[in-house]
Amino acid sequence: MLRSVGFAFLILLSQIGATMEERMEHGYYKYHPMTEITSWMQQIVREHPSLVSTEAYGKTFENRTISLLKIGERTSGVEKKAIWMDCGIHAREWIAPAFCQYFVREILQAYNKTDPKMREMMKNVDFYVTPVLNVDGYIYSWTDNTTRLWRKTRSPGPEDCVCFGDGGTDLNRNFDALWGTVGMSHNCCSLFYAGAGPLSEPESQAVTEFVGSRKADILCFLTIHNYGQMVLVPYGHPNIISPNHNELMEVGLAAADAIRGVHGTSYTVGISHDILYPHSGLSMDWARLVGIPFSFCLELRDKGQHGFELPEEQVRATCEEAYAGVLHIVRHVHDKIFCRSGAVAITATTTTLWTTLLVAAWVTGCTTAL
């Protein structure tokens, strides 16, 4: 009897240990290969089944699945507004997928800690987060030291393309946004090869179809890159400016302030052709052109000391500060739609000064503090 009880106890301990190991095995301050990121996505769904689901929305050139995490409170029969975020559009920018993973963890922890603002936002919007968009390229960049700085997709390019890695296309020159005009190349061996035409790549097609079919509900489009420490706003082409440019700049500058407040890191804010270089075919520009009002590209650390090979010891600080900036953007977008539409004017009269004071009273019940 004692032996059987002891055996059962050992089994229970092993199950508890396995569960704890499963929950602890994913490190948020390190880089992960694609297999581990995929396992992590499945783990997040298991741990938060009422909030998180996965959705496959495309295939890569090498026939791998492109998946996202959909995060938010479930609603029955109601189309919610949404925030889009993608990471890993360029294979060598490993800090970007690391940030997407960190972002998911942080918003779920805030929700589970009954943060009133996060609960409010998850009630009103869904977050669509793609941890790695350029799956083929990302996997290839993990092959060995010779492929670590691979940037593009793994499609072969034109038949006569003969170069290291067999071509590939720069996904962030392949979107149907003034494609092929500036800041790109028609040379298939170039890092900035824009592809045979707009949306020639299955990865850019997948984003275009998924986001485009929901563009009326997507409030904000965020794409995460490195390096340079910048908050970029549309457009990459020097001859076009967004109709809400001033607001985009205002939000971007406030996001940079939030970033600087964490570890003192300075981010530059501006139109990409002004503070970076002119370029076309950008996903950020495409999102703004199709009517998504808020569109930003964040270039994370650093300023070039390590570039795309940012040391793992900087992952935590990079993610912490970037989260503060992104959170400001998300909150601004959310509050503009859900917290200010119900404003009413209240009139108060003072009998001594015969003065009328107009006070804006926000009556939607939005939470004002995170």
Q: What is the DSSP letter of 217?
A: T
156, burial (CB in 10 Å: exposed 0-12, middle 13-18, buried 19+): middle
Q: Are 197 and 205 in contact (CB under 8 A)?
A: no
In this structure, the number of other CB atoms found within 10 A of the CB of residue 94 comes to 26
Query: Which among 104, 94, 93, 95 is positioned nearest to 67, based on CA atoms?
Result: 104
Active site residue 106: no
Structure tokens at 157: 């390019």
125, burial (CB in 10 Å: exposed 0-12, middle 13-18, buried 19+): buried
Residue 319's contacts (CB-CB under 8 Å, 6 or more residues apart) are 28, 29, 98, 99, 102, 103
Structure tokens at 192: 């900035």
Cis amide leading into 235 (omega within 30): yes
Marked catalytic residue, from 106, 120, 203, 299: 299
| 3-class secondary structure, 30 | coil
Q: Are 170 and 191 in contact (CB under 8 A)?
A: yes
| 3-class secondary structure, 83 | strand
Residue 288's contacts (CB-CB under 8 Å, 6 or more residues apart) are 221, 234, 235, 242, 295
273, burial (CB in 10 Å: exposed 0-12, middle 13-18, buried 19+): buried
Query: Could you give the CA distance from residue 195 to residue 23 in angstroms, rounded to a whole number?
Result: 41
Catalytic annotation, residues: 299
